[in-house]
Structure 1
């Protein structure tokens, strides 16, 4: 098989050279673009607080496929298995509920020490870590409000949680030598008709300012804020709307998170990148696949995933856009879900890097839209798959669908032995 991969690779290099695309240069650049994989696919967003509580905040993980992780050791083993099947640089995105502590720790009391084992492991795996405060699935978020809560005490609890989370995030960046992107998302909103939409947003604005009052080294920590259109239980009003957070990120200089599932069904975040990047210093992308609503399906190599990657590459936003994934599917093998989604995001980036962008840009600038469309369509048929296969081979990961056999073997030897 390696001989056929090499033959296809050599032919592909020539085909792309014919349209002035340097394939080896594209692979070198791909090796500088990490994708931040999300820990919560491995355990259905349960976390390790051991409270026995259920998911709230409009979050649902459907399905009961056997073998989910029940503790940090199992989750890290599953992540290692997934990482071994994905080529190129990767990061890991953690939520606050994935802490490791001997006893119960309130969320506003989390400290770097509760994530020390994650940092040691990340250093061994040569990974960067990203972070999120967990403002859902908690008794003090049960009525649907956190940072915008009308009760001063409850609101202060969530402010302190986010403040503590920022310190954990800065610890990640300081220890691992790569800045941690910490994203704030809250579920705050109302199910039905809302009379006062302004007051909760005023409270949220003041709370976020309090959260970010402590100045942290941006070489260690990057703040990001994330909007959402609606959620289960917040169908009529979401405090942290797109307009709110765009205004906040623009005025405060934070990164803005664009989640593929957090807008109207006909909106796409690929079209928002070039607008938002004019006003905010950085973007965080949560690449997901919404089906009718923010349902967080496994990422496909579909038109929108490709459009997101292409926009990053065409505008050379490599140092200003952070790519993360956000999906969780409990109806299929969870490790396979990670591998499928992350490999697809990387495939999309590779395809974008193999586009003759400068030639297309010149055609557009000269008004030759006929040639622009013709070249775009012809380029779709070029043998990018052969380049991807070579990239997998260079990183010593399975080519094509061969990775599935490794997942099946892991499922038989490890996942099926787990209870519950």
Structure 2
């Protein structure tokens, strides 16, 4: 079975979006399917039509040109026209059994038009509500004209797709509220390659010494520094009474839009010697930094996006049998059972995070080992990419069966 996947962006760019894509594509190949991968103009590939990256072949969409291509609304329309033209040519040559478009709606609407012309089933995969992501990134305000227009377009696309997939139960419920029948929604959850993660990470003494972390209790975060991640809460927690002891350190691995604000906050709080920024590190080196962390913290803020969407990073930490503490928002509650596979604390409260950390630092190691082992079991049993990708099979088979019946009747 050949499936054309229409993507926002892909390798060689690094993001949670691209990691999920390639993990699921590997499993689709293992199931005997043939995924054909296409990216839209947001990949910024210039005039390139095809490219290889990370062992995969991608069909690229050239970027629209001209002044209108940069203008609001006209620019989005130009992007969709470019995607539709490129997808039309690809479908004519690849002759897929179905089209699978992935967020955002700029991919879904062109895919819907092409699918209808060719009589193909269309699956639309919602990885996040992009109007909510735009609010978090500062591109619009909740409820403004752009927000409402994006939401309306997304709802239009969801209702017209033959099936909708999404990454978690929070998003599933919100999609159903928009008028999509429950039996047309399938959850394909985020997951990890368990085999890639070791549960016994040795501490890299040389790295620890270079970062000034040799004899400390280290809180850690590795990922992109976005406002909604709540890393300012982690910084402020370091100044709370339970953590004022100099042995508590915070290690921030990565970078992003909120980095400058975080560095300013660290300076204002006088925490330069206790909050360490590493900058971005190569993906193949990340486990060296994980090995220095006694506790991974995920202090996401209580926003619409974080209530609905599950992140990948806590799963990766649990796959390594690392101790995890996360804010009690909906996306985390789908992944972490409090005091069983990890620990939840009140969102947006530096005091609550500090108290949680202090309690864990003083807890018996045997008790914490039980939590670490339970987290690893949860991932092994429920959150592997193989198990997630297997959920596509009955969905695809159902759509193709309906399509064959419709063709026979026509």
Structures share a fold, TM > 0.5? no
Question: Which structure exhibits the higher relative contact order, with contacts defined as CA atoms closer than 8 Å and separated by 6 or more residues?
Answer: 1
> Could you state the TM-score of these two structures normalised by the residue count of structure 1?
0.29
Q: Which has the higher strand share?
A: 2
